[in-house]
Amino acid sequence: MKKSILVLLIAMAGVGASAQENEEKGIKTLITNFAKAADNNNVTELETYLDENYRIVMNRLFGSEAVSVISKADYLAKIESKEWGGDKRKVEVHSVTINGNTPSAHVTLKGEKATFISSSV
């Protein structure tokens, strides 16, 4: 009886790990697709990834001395006008953490124009 319970627990742990891996893979794909949409200045696709409450909070944005907060509307306007975006970046996802329903990721996006290091939730 104890062996069968142990085998069941090990099997359940394997299923949980597999589900976690699938979620992490999905999040990595989402991050990559999001970056490609920005690189292609594709506002229509970007809108599908962003919540209405989306904000960018960036320290020393493009050399400024302040912390900048950019709304979703302002971000999309800068992408649409091609002020931002248009760079073919390499996306490296360093880590993905899932806490309940909330994922977070540490990502480096490196292109010809700039390199961004992002920690996001």
100: left (phi over 0), alpha (psi -120 to 50) or beta: left
pTM value is: 0.77
Question: In the predicted model, is pLDDT for residue 17 greater than 90?
Answer: no
Q: Rounded distance, CA 95 to CA 120, Å?
A: 11
Residue 16 has pLDDT above 60, yes or no: no
pLDDT recorded at residue 77: 97
| CATH class of the domain defined by 2-120 | alpha beta
pLDDT at residue 11 greater than cutoff 50: no
The secondary structure of the chain in percent helix, strand, coil, rounded to multiples of 5, reads 45, 30, 25
Q: Has residue 4 got a pLDDT over 50?
A: no
What is the average pLDDT value for the chain, to the nearest integer? Answer: 84
- Domain boundaries of the chain, sorted by first residue: 2-120
What count of residues does the chain have?
121
Query: What's the distance, Cα to Cα, between the start and end of the chain in Å?
Result: 43
